[in-house]
Structure 1
């Protein structure tokens, strides 16, 4: 537990707890499960576990170090399983990506291949038993050839899904993983956008300065809703997990600035929320939006509205990234709603939106945490401002949010 710093702005939200995560204040994806928050680190490597059963007094209870030259920036929990990605630590070990802009505008596979690195790293996914929540026990591993995995989706059942940068591809593609035996997960299916299979000499189909790369997909039923950064959105039929098939590819970049990042299907309403990530400071990559699509006809998703843009101050000139990043994903066992959406907006903090009328989304709450007191992000020239990264809402409605430097916030929503 650390002292609570007064938020820069709050409306219908109240900060009730904070953790500096044992001095590793950098957080990316988080899961709250069995009364513990599992937080992945982008710069401290590894992941941490915080006991949040008393949300006003969270306690960091464990830290698991990543393998050498490897980051564990995303993870998933379900039942007694924790799945953690392994990939080359791109910010620490590839000189080409010390400039933030380069990471978002270059093919990672081609850039890493060109670097001719000699260091070894771990690529793929590790499976832990978390029946004792504070003490994960490694039980399985999936190793792949290449840079590794980026993000996962697993909510139980036989299959998990990942974005994976495998040897022979220009960037991250969609893969399916058989979890029938969690001690021996197996990669069984692959799908990619045309032009990404460099080993097959496919011709590149995108412009210089763009990244066609899967960020991640969420799955409902037999459909995977996948976001491809500057490659837009695909709906994939995954009835055959070994051979996913395209239902629809839709890209709105250009004219918009790309960065398509986070999908959230709302199947009970035939809606899909999609957030385009702001990836450069001061809106250099343009104004980014969170879109609502009508997907009654999956072969023809239609955008019907965008979320309102935070405007209490001039966030575009505050410093850092201003715009969408992650969405609370309605995971089983967490807070689930098809009308109330929670999102991170980077230097504009954490936001709640009522989409009861999908044509007119309304912001119903916001909290912008105070600036970080220390910087864990070691990239040169990064501004000392809040950059809210991920948000998770538990079944009781408590909001948990990470930041690249400022630790873990626990927040009450006023309803």
Structure 2
């Protein structure tokens, strides 16, 4: 296959902190770290390593995941029989075409994107690691141009560049950018934090001096250099941005549609501490703000899962019988804002909350001054790894189904499978897991029979963003899938979901490309029938007949199908 497109930018090294010692992103380099259980200090309550013979490749070519595992850092590789002993250089495609490839890497473990139009140009802001962003002109997706970029060192005092939502505010006649700011989630002083074995972690997090909340910018141009800071808001209602605040700030993407209401994932104070996960102290819920005056956001209400706060343990039905509680491994609470198919202002009443090991909740947000939950269901246990992270709502108004998933954290599939669950929310008071989406499988011509053998992580990592441009297409849900690249599910018959297309790039272009996250994200342009795929070696623009012919230029303008 010939890939068209610019070669601007060049592959750049991962700028994420080193979790300790030499970081080797691939098991094929001499200094790669390999997993030995005796190298890790464990504490009472953590899941045990699975017994040999209870998991792995089977005689029929299938892979049986472990039933449970402890957490293992992402740069530590787990060897097991049947893995490929080389970096797979092949590309696999079904009903999908790479329209362009650009060897640009902002951050290999994860990166974020937002797309917006200004003055006849479509821009993509691509950022990661908290200290690196690039701005692209993607008006012609086959000729991406780097417009601006900035990167700064870890010791630089400027705030980290957090998860950002860009929306047009009709009332003010301008674009606004709302940017999350949170306490360190994983790393402290360049190492993975572990509050269960290091008694300095709690103090470092409690005394962290940055903003715990969100920033609002008026966008005087497409580049962050053109943005004007108009507000800093702490999610701690009792302390301002110039003080040491409580809680963890805003996690990941602020949910703002450009009108009145903003929803953020947050733990607003230091009572929200019933958190088994080792690297953070807080268990987050959700808060709503009135953004009528974006210079003075007004807190309307806060919701959390009962049992999240110290002192609520005995009365919480969400902890009673939950085998994750006190396992020193599971993530409790939100990692993202609430999920909705459209805004409250447009008349949508419900929001869907993935609360990690606490389960899946349906929230009534029709009155944002009184967020409350009306429905809940447990999610199947899958420890280690992230549970209850993402909710895809693109099909809910047509079918009554949402799609709930976590994602892998241990490398080399050394954890239970991370599934995508189809959840029936047609009765919002009684959400039900009705089926599991099929496991993506490699084609017959591959030299392996399960994507797990390709090494690295394998499993879903979100279906893009609520800011994916345009109107979602009925019956199609794309996911980033790590070692399995881009997997596109055909749910036109929601009772019989299947993989309808995929595009799986090489595991890297060099042996030392980071294999822990071969493909870590996607952004969907529904209005141009394109899916942007972000890998450890660059960016792909992918089309599929399931979406239709890709569009060049701005939607609705003098556009043409890419050819």
TM-score strictly above 0.5: yes
CA distance 1:44–1:84, change in 2 (3 Å): closer
Q: Please list the CA deviations of residues 151-188 of structure 1 after superposition, one character each: whole Å capped at 9, or x if unmatched.
A: 22222321111112433122222111221112233333
Return the alpha-carbon distance in structure 2 between the equivalents of residues 182 and 384 of structure 1. Answer: 39
Return the alpha-carbon distance in structure 2 between the equivalents of residues 37 and 95 of structure 1. Answer: 29
Is 1:410 the counterpart of 2:410? The answer is: no
Query: TM-score, length-normalised on structure 1?
Result: 0.84
Residues 106 and 126, structure 2, Cα contact 8 Å, conserved in 1: no
Matches within 5 A, 1:259-270: 259-265=387-393, 266-270=396-400
Is 1:40 the counterpart of 2:137? The answer is: no
Residues 94 and 112, structure 1, Cα contact 8 Å, conserved in 2: no
Return the alpha-carbon distance in structure 2 between the equivalents of residues 167 and 330 of structure 1. Answer: 27
Q: Please list the CA deviations of residues 271-291 of structure 1 after superposition, one character each: whole Å capped at 9, or x if unmatched.
A: 211122222223333011112
CA distance 1:229–1:385, change in 2 (3 Å): closer
How far the C-alpha of 1:297 sits from its partner, in A, is 0.9
SS in structure 1 opposite 2:459? coil
Q: Which of these residues, 227, 231, 240, is aligned with residue 137 of structure 1?
A: 227
Structure 1 gap ranges (5+): none
Return the alpha-carbon distance in structure 2 between the equivalents of residues 293 and 23 of structure 1. Answer: 34
Is 1:76 the counterpart of 2:165? The answer is: yes
**1:147 equivalent in structure 2:** 248
Residues 70 and 89, structure 1, Cα contact 8 Å, conserved in 2: no
Q: Please list the CA deviations of residues 14-56 of structure 1 after superposition, one character each: whole Å capped at 9, or x if unmatched.
A: 2223344476566523222211112230x25253322111211
Query: TM-score, length-normalised on structure 2?
Result: 0.64
CA distance 1:164–1:408, change in 2 (3 Å): farther
How far the C-alpha of 1:113 sits from its partner, in A, is 2.7
**1:53 equivalent in structure 2:** 139
Q: Please list the CA deviations of residues 304-330 of structure 1 after superposition, one character each: whole Å capped at 9, or x if unmatched.
A: 222221211432232222101111346
SS in structure 1 opposite 2:403? strand
**1:62 equivalent in structure 2:** 148
Residues 375 and 429, structure 2, Cα contact 8 Å, conserved in 1: yes
Matches within 5 A, 1:311-322: 311-312=441-442, 313=448, 314-322=450-458
**2:263 equivalent in structure 1:** 161
SS in structure 2 opposite 1:177? strand
Is 1:215 the counterpart of 2:302? The answer is: no
Return the alpha-carbon distance in structure 2 between the equivalents of residues 83 and 7 of structure 1. Answer: 39
Higher helix share: 1
Matches within 5 A, 1:148-227: 148-151=249-252, 152-168=254-270, 169-170=272-273, 171-198=283-310, 201-203=311-313, 205=319, 206-208=325-327, 209-216=329-336, 217-219=338-340, 220=342, 221-227=348-354
Q: Please list the CA deviations of residues 242-270 of structure 1 after superposition, one character each: whole Å capped at 9, or x if unmatched.
A: 33111112112337876111112222322
How far the C-alpha of 1:369 sits from its partner, in A, is 2.3
Return the alpha-carbon distance in structure 1 between the equivalents of residues 358 and 158 of structure 2. Answer: 28
CA distance 1:252–1:26, change in 2 (3 Å): closer
Residues 231 and 253, structure 1, Cα contact 8 Å, conserved in 2: no
Return the alpha-carbon distance in structure 2 between the equivalents of residues 334 and 60 of structure 1. Answer: 23
Residues 530 and 542, structure 2, Cα contact 8 Å, conserved in 1: yes
Of 89-98 and 220-229, deviating more is 89-98
Q: Please list the CA deviations of residues 349-384 of structure 1 after superposition, one character each: whole Å capped at 9, or x if unmatched.
A: 11111111111112111112233457999xxxx636
**2:359 equivalent in structure 1:** 232
Q: Which of these residues, 380, 386, 407, is aligned with residue 277 of structure 1?
A: 407
Return the alpha-carbon distance in structure 2 between the equivalents of residues 94 and 260 of structure 1. Answer: 28
Residues 109 and 517, structure 2, Cα contact 8 Å, conserved in 1: no
How far the C-alpha of 1:302 sits from its partner, in A, is 2.1
How far the C-alpha of 1:134 sits from its partner, in A, is 3.1
SS in structure 1 opposite 2:398? helix
Q: Please list the CA deviations of residues 125-153 of structure 1 after superposition, one character each: whole Å capped at 9, or x if unmatched.
A: 12233352235413333233333211222
SS in structure 2 opposite 1:148? coil
CA distance 1:59–1:245, change in 2 (3 Å): same
